[in-house]
Structure 1
Amino acid sequence: MTSSSFQHLDVATLAGWLDAARPLTLVDIRDPASFAAGHLPGSRHLDNDGVPALLAEAERETPLVVVCYHGNSSQQAAAWLAGQGFEDVYSLDGGFTDWRSKHPERVASGDVDGA
């Protein structure tokens, strides 16, 4: 895998990883209001202002999963993050929309800090 590539991840695989408590960094790049209305448990909202903190805090060896609305915007963000030295970067295919439709009971809500 080159330093600027990412992998696609389907909802079923991510659900399995979460069930197994696999260490992950989950970032959601949707707008703050959408994130506050519902997001994957354990994810953190990521916008341009939050990128420096993510780059400073996140472990480069921990798999990083990028979530957007439908799995399109996350691909560009995932490619960029892979170029920043993250070793295993994934874009969630189908995005939050697909996650919510398949796992409505596994949607958290709250502030944009992911708390």
Structure 2
Amino acid sequence: MTMPTFHHLDIPALDDWLAGEARLTLVDIRDPLSFAQGHIPGSCRLDNDSVATFLEEATPDIPLVVVCYHGHSSQQAAAWLAGQGFREVYSLDGGFTEWQHRHPDRVAR
């Protein structure tokens, strides 16, 4: 049995996608306080309480990018989401920490 797969996405690639207004879904799996203190513009927070609604409302054909703190726990979440029927799932390498380091002016609060 093969496991659903996800792809790794680096910060410059996400930056290009966002600059080009690519159609994608950004989900942030960090804790509520961290998300409130700063997140990538356009992202929504995803947790155990909101995942059922997200699965009902999200479009599985749109690329899905998962963001965490450093790009580690997003890999597990991305693999799980790929198993839920999302066709193109990415884990952001470096996570929000790297995004904020490279793009401090592009953080929503």
Using structure 1 for the length normalisation, give the TM-score.
0.92
Q: Shift of residue 3 of structure 1? A: 6.8
Could you say which residue in structure 2 is the equivalent of 1:71? 71
* Residue 87, structure 1, aligned to residue 77, structure 2: no
The 3-state SS of whatever aligns with 1:65 is strand
The 3-state SS of whatever aligns with 1:99 is helix
Q: Would the aligned equivalents of 1:11 and 1:93 in 2 still touch at CA under 8 Å?
A: yes
The 3-state SS of whatever aligns with 1:66 is strand
* Residue 48, structure 1, aligned to residue 35, structure 2: no
Matched residues, percent identical?
66
Amino acid at match of 1:11: I
The 3-state SS of whatever aligns with 1:48 is coil
d(CA) in 2 for partners of 1:29, 1:19: 23
Could you say which residue in structure 2 is the equivalent of 1:39? 39
Q: Shift of residue 20 of structure 1? A: 0.3
Using structure 2 for the length normalisation, give the TM-score.
0.97
d(CA) in 1 for partners of 2:91, 2:99: 13
* Residue 105, structure 1, aligned to residue 105, structure 2: yes
* Residue 16, structure 1, aligned to residue 16, structure 2: yes
CA deviation map 1:13-38 (0-9, x unaligned): 00000000001100000000000000
The answer for unaligned runs of 5 or more in structure 2 is: none
Q: Shift of residue 70 of structure 1? A: 0.1
Count of residue correspondences: 108
The 3-state SS of whatever aligns with 1:26 is strand
Could you say which residue in structure 2 is the equivalent of 1:5? 5
The answer for unaligned runs of 5 or more in structure 1 is: 110-115
Q: Shift of residue 57 of structure 1? A: 0.6
Runs of 4+ displaced beyond 2 Å: none
Amino acid at match of 1:46: L
